[in-house]
Amino acid sequence: MKLTTADSLSLQRYLDREMSTEQAEAFRRRLAAEPALRAAAAEREAIADGFALARQDVRRAPAGFASAVLAEVRQLPARVQLEAAATAAVVLRVCRRVLIAAAVLAGVALAVQAGLFETGLGEQLQAAPDEVQAEMHRLDELAKGLDAPLVEQRAEPRRR
C-alpha cells in the first residue's frame, strides 16, 4: 500500500523526533496497527542507518598529506612560464611551416632550372660539334663578303 502525503510527512517527523511526546505515542500506536506504515518506517530507518554508518566510516588523510601536496604544487611552473612555453611552441610551429614552404619552393625552382619541367622558356638548339664548326665557317665567309664593299668604300676618296 502506498502512503499518503500526510502519512509520509508524519512518518518523517516521527523518525526525525520532531513530534511532541503525545503525538509520538499516538503515531506508535498507528505503527503497531498498520503494517504498511510499519514497513515504510522500517525501510526509512534502514536508509537512515546506512547514512549513519557511512558518516562513521569517513577516512582521514594521512599526516603530512597536505604539506606533501603543497610541496608538489610549488614545484609546478607558474602561469607566466606556461604561457611563455605555449607562445614559444606556436612560434616554433610557424617557423617550421615557413621553412618547409621555403624548402619546397627552392626544390621546385631547382627542378625548373634543371629543365625537369617543360616550360617552353629558353629552349636550346642542339647540334653536333662538326655541324657547329661548319656553320661558323659559313657565317665567317658571309661576314667577309659583307665586309668587302665597306672596305672598298673606305678606300675610295670622297668626291664632291
pLDDT tens per residue, range 77-94:
888 888 999 999 999 999
Half-sphere exposure of 11 (CA within 13 A, CB side): 21
Instruction: Give the angle 13-18-23 at the CA atoms, nearest 5°.
Output: 80
Helices (H), the chain: 5-15, 21-33, 35-56, 65-75, 79-113, 129-155
Tell me the CA distances in angstroms from 103 to 23, 106, 109, one per residue in order: 92, 5, 10
Tell me 122's DSSP state.
S
- Cβ neighbours for 30, distance < 8 A, ≥ 6 positions apart: 37
pTM of the model: 0.35
Q: Which of 19-23, 52-56, 62-66, 133-137 has the lowest mean pLDDT?
A: 52-56
Neighbouring residues of 130: CB distance < 8 A, sequence distance ≥ 6: none
d(CA 43, CA 71) in angstroms, rounded, equals 48
Reading the block at residue 81, the C-alpha cell is: 612560464
pLDDT digits (tens, 9 = 90+) for 29-73: 999 999 989 999 999 999 888 887 777 767 777 888 888 888 888
**Amino acid letter, 70:** L
**Spatial separation of the C-alpha atoms in residues 13 and 83, rounded to whole Å:** 57
